[in-house]
Amino acid sequence: SSGINAEYGIKGTAVAKKVREALREEIQEIQETLPEFTPGLTVVQVGDRPDSNVYIGAKIKACKEIGIEGTHLKMPPTTTEEELVGEIERLNNDPNVHGIILQVPLDCNTGIDEALATNALSPSKDVDGLTDVNAGRLSRGDLKRCFTPCTPSGCMVLIEEAGVDVKGKNVCVVGRSKIVGAPMHDLLLWAHGTVTTCHSRTPDLGYHIKQADVVVVAAGKKELVKGDMIKPGAVVIDCGINPEPDATKKSGVKLWGDVEYGAAKEVAGYITPVPGGVGPMTVALLMRNTVTSAKRMNGITSPHKPIRSYSTIAGRQFPPAARSFSTAASLGLRALRFLKK
């Protein structure tokens, strides 16, 4: 199906699939004229955290699907800071490696400074966008020379998929982490949104959210944002992943978002579910950043293949609580047709 379902949910799984398909086609097209073109991504891991192994496995799997040479470099928990930085510098100088990720948190007992190790990455290969250089360029609006963190970038694609231009819109970001909240604010600002950032010290959170045409929540707190805080017709992007034990689930765990989904979907114009919303986009945008890096290093300036495949239809059926409001219409929300699976 398309990236939008009948309940106004933005399905990140479907959109991420379209991103991956477009990247695979793009690599194949480039290889027609440049046969040796193969983007390379290396994930550096220190130790053996089970959750990190799962995340890395998903990244390597996506690499294979798209045509990226994915490498998992696992270092022992006894690795010293000097050894880790030395390995990173080797990768910085390897012309076949276009993207490098340092999987955090590090699983070691040698006192490695994660910030120092992260900043050892060459900014031109920092496809997670977490070095101070890339963060600084993003904060200054130098988008053509930086990599942006993958979760906020994925959120921007989902907002675009909903047919929304944030230019001139009131936007609220809940959370200010360096991985999601802060770069999300910057991306929305340079897309010409009027951005308010809320956090744990913000009084009357609901007041600020209620003003927003677009809300991005990355607070790490289960159902922090209630349905009655949402402006009717608003676009709601939920980055939260809050696991709780649940014996009824095959995995034994149920994931909750930062937004009260059941109530919010009755008010929002579009909303991302958890799971299946923002999560799949993070890996997809990591793949896109890796291909971008490979293109830059090969002097290829063409833009990425577009992923959007919806038609603009006049009018749209709003959720019950939003039908008497014009907010969604003013946002330019468009009905999307379903794609064949």
Residues marked active site are found at 59
DSSP summary character for residue 14:
H
H-state helical runs in 191-300? 205-210, 261-264, 279-297
Cα–Cα dist 327/280, whole Å: 28
Cα–Cα dist 56/50, whole Å: 10
Cα–Cα dist 304/136, whole Å: 24
Q: Name the 3-class secondary structure at 140.
A: coil
Structure tokens at 291: 């291909």
- What is the β-pairing status of strands 242-245 and 253-256? antiparallel
Q: Name the 3-class secondary structure at 312.
A: coil
Compute CA distances 185 → 24, 68, 150, whole Å. Answer: 30, 30, 14
DSSP summary character for residue 304:
P
Compute CA distances 150 → 20, 33, 89, 157, 290, whole Å. Answer: 14, 29, 23, 11, 11
Cα–Cα dist 26/59, whole Å: 19
Strand partners, 43: 72, 101
